[in-house]
Amino acid sequence: MDYASLIRCTVGLAVSLAIALGVGTSAEAGAAPTDTLLTVTRAEVRAFLFDERDEEALPEDLFEQLETWLDDPLDLNRASAHALAVLPWLRPAQAEAIVRARTTDGPFDSVAAAFDAADIPPQDRAYLRAFLHVRPPSTTGTPAPWRVMLMQQATRRLDLGRGYDRTREGTTYLGSPVRMMTRLQVGQRGRWQGRLTLNKHAGEPFAWDPALRFFGYTHMAGHVAWQPRHGRTTIIAGDYQVALGQGLLLWRGLALGKGTAAVDGPARSSRGLAPYQGTDPNGHFRGLAGTMTVGPATLTAFASHTRRDAALDTLTIANGEASVVLSSLPTTGRYRTPLERERRASTTLQTAGGAVEMGRPGRHVGLAGYVARFGHPVAASDALHQRGAFSGQQAHGLSLYGHYSLGDIAAGAEVMRPHAGTMGGAVWLRTAVGRLAEVLWHGRVLPVGNSLFGNPIAEQSSRARGERGFYLGLHLRPHPTWTLAGYADVFTMTWPRFRTDRPSTGLDVRARLTHQPRSWLRVYVQGRSRQREQNGAALHHDTRPLRPISRHEIRLHAQYAHSPVLRFATQVDQVWTTRDGTSGRGFLLSQDVRWHIHAALRLDARLAFFDADPFDARVYAYEHDLRYSFSVPAFSGQGQRRYLMATWAPTAALDFQMKLAETHMPMETTMGSGLDEVEGNRLRDVRLQLRWRPFR
């Protein structure tokens, strides 16, 4: 007899009986007797935006911004058109319509009234509600409320990899397996804010060593920003991001890109400056930045001095002198091993730039540029796919962009000239047929020599260089309960890529059909097909012909809100892959439950079984996580994933979250790889977070 399983069974049965007999009865007694709407939760907003972001760099910037909006929804009676227009699902023309209606008809008394004024479709309203609220008009003249928040997070893997084995010879991690993150925030809503984030990843040392720039935590980011929401004026001291035009030249921060928002993601419009307080040490500027409006012109200027992680090499040049150059710029942001620590903040990057925009949100043209200088020259790489990339010590870029919307038609464009001298550009046109359909055309020509700070729409935004592409997006609402959204992206890589030694072509197609027959039931089926080319097996004379690689996915997702206190979500994912003649299959079946046991206590649980082989056929599955954290793990092999997360908010000012998760692969003897390789077939981790908001 296995007593551990017997104990688990007994506990489980006791809990089940309690559910069946006691709690169910009490919930019945105290709950509303009628059906309720399947409103979009914060978790669903996150899932919608982060879903399918595999192979991309982790969108921490996007997540940071999203959490900020969710925590501090915009007040429709005070926010400027520019502030509203940067929200996902809200276009510049709609933002202008909201502000215009507010000016002519007075403050809104509900979010729905503002939506009506801007004629926002019902499907978009469901998601937008999470970002917006309406403060009573009577409070318009009162002092701006204070916001203070302190948050502490600690996470730890229970099954440790060999990197934590101090008795082992060779490289090990320098620090403990605990990840620590502290966030501080203070400010007055709609006026100014000060934020600070302190972070230490698992394996990094928590040490005080000013010589190595270790001050306890390994990463610090923060700012003081004055950012009234009535206009565009912004002044930031500290860490910030800049996003202008279509992102060809300067775009750090929120970037939806290709995804489930098929006609909104690629239709970009300048966001301008945004304060930054995230955990990515390489994704932001640090210094002073400001935006101000002078008549019809909006001026933005910024100056930054940051330290960057770098691998330095010493070269001996012709006259015998030694020269230190940058051989690579790691972007992992991890400092767990001696080598990673050595590369930490080992060079500098000074940047200055600015932009002039004429017009208003939805109708403007702009000119932007920057000059950047590294502390050491960047060495040219011999790798074929790296040729044409930036080398040298100083870079610059210039771009001209514009955005125009009139009624149901909107367009945007940007032309950019980076340091290497080759021009690049992107243009999009979006048109609507009432509420029935929206169509987006997007074209791009990206130069081989890309901008240091660009992040344009591309096959993969993080590797956007030497590429031509055409994107067609469609959003169709044939019936109030049916929605079809999808896109087709055809692209040509005009320059070799990693593992692709010659120009190549590819295709990315995605469609999602959503049906909501009742207010409590939503179902969607989604298909995605991606094809591109990569080096095949070597033939004679070491020639490597390109071979197509493909990945086809289909997903069925059903969500059912039984009541305000109980929700279920079921998802089935099936993946088929082909690479160099070898095919693979992946499958995942997951069942989620969200249960508000009490007004102050919520449980989120998932049980998922997966089966994917080979690794190419891995299945990605977004899962709930602590606030300010997100998780889209990839599953390959054969096994089970389960987690339980509890959110307890004893008071309005205090909440506590705990997540216990386990991945179990019965047929494996080791899990993970490298220094994170674990003996055994289970990976378990625990995550804790405490948040205190005395002033919200």
Q: Which residues bind other proteins (CB under 8 A)?
A: 1-2, 5-6, 8-10, 12-13, 16-17, 19-21, 24-25, 27-28, 30-36, 517-518, 520-521, 558, 560, 562-566, 568, 570, 572, 587, 589, 591, 607-609, 611, 638-640, 664, 666-667
Altogether, the residues listed in the chain come to a count of 696
CB 376 within 8 A of CB 312: yes
Burial of 640 (0-12, 13-18, 19+ CB in 10 A): middle
For residue 345, how many C-alpha atoms fall within 13 Å in the half-sphere facing its CB?
13
**Residue whose C-alpha is closest to residue 259's, from 439, 454, 51, 410:** 51
The least CB distance from residue 156 to other proteins, in Å, is 23
- Tell me whether residue 26 or residue 332 sits nearer to other proteins (CB atom): 26
The least CB distance from residue 575 to other proteins, in Å, is 12
- Tell me whether residue 33 or residue 320 sits nearer to other proteins (CB atom): 33
**Residue whose C-alpha is closest to residue 465's, from 474, 476, 456:** 456
Output b/e per residue, 272-282; b: 16+ Cβ within 10 A.
bbbbbbbbbbe
- Tell me whether residue 154 or residue 558 sits nearer to other proteins (CB atom): 558
The least CB distance from residue 327 to other proteins, in Å, is 45
- Tell me whether residue 550 or residue 638 sits nearer to other proteins (CB atom): 638
Handedness of CA 497, 499, 501, 502 (dihedral sign): negative
- Tell me whether residue 217 or residue 568 sits nearer to other proteins (CB atom): 568
- Tell me whether residue 8 or residue 499 sits nearer to other proteins (CB atom): 8
**Residue whose C-alpha is closest to residue 240's, from 271, 272, 276, 270:** 276
- Tell me whether residue 217 or residue 482 sits nearer to other proteins (CB atom): 482
The least CB distance from residue 594 to other proteins, in Å, is 12
The least CB distance from residue 554 to other proteins, in Å, is 13
- Tell me whether residue 2 or residue 321 sits nearer to other proteins (CB atom): 2
- Tell me whether residue 19 or residue 538 sits nearer to other proteins (CB atom): 19
Q: Cβ contacts of residue 376 below 8 Å, gap of 6+?
A: 310, 312, 324, 325, 326, 347, 393
- Tell me whether residue 591 or residue 631 sits nearer to other proteins (CB atom): 591
Tell me whether strands 74-75 and 582-598 are parallel, antiparallel or unpaired.
unpaired
- Tell me whether residue 184 or residue 644 sits nearer to other proteins (CB atom): 644
User: 665 vs 570, 613, 670, CA distance in Å?
Assistant: 21, 13, 9
Report d(CA 417, CA 424) in Å as an integer.
6
Q: Is 46 strand, coil or helix?
A: helix
The least CB distance from residue 23 to other proteins, in Å, is 9
- Tell me whether residue 34 or residue 673 sits nearer to other proteins (CB atom): 34
Q: Cβ contacts of residue 411 below 8 Å, gap of 6+?
A: 403, 404, 405, 427, 428, 429, 430
Q: Cβ contacts of residue 43 below 8 Å, gap of 6+?
A: 594, 604, 624
The least CB distance from residue 655 to other proteins, in Å, is 22
Report d(CA 159, CA 678) in Å as an integer.
7
- Tell me whether residue 5 or residue 103 sits nearer to other proteins (CB atom): 5
Report d(CA 372, CA 17) in Å as an integer.
65
The least CB distance from residue 565 to other proteins, in Å, is 5
The least CB distance from residue 666 to other proteins, in Å, is 6
The least CB distance from residue 670 to other proteins, in Å, is 17
The least CB distance from residue 483 to other proteins, in Å, is 19
Phi-psi region of 257 (alpha: psi -120 to 50; beta: other; left: phi over 0): left
Q: Which amino acid is at 366?
A: G
φ, ψ for residue 569 (rounded to 5)?
Answer: -140, 130
Cα radius of gyration rounded to whole Å, the chain = 26
The least CB distance from residue 580 to other proteins, in Å, is 23
The least CB distance from residue 564 to other proteins, in Å, is 6
Output b/e per residue, 597-628; b: 16+ Cβ within 10 A.
beeeebebbbebebbbeeebbbbbbbbbbbbb
Report d(CA 624, CA 690) in Å as an integer.
16
The two tokens of residue 548 are 């197509």
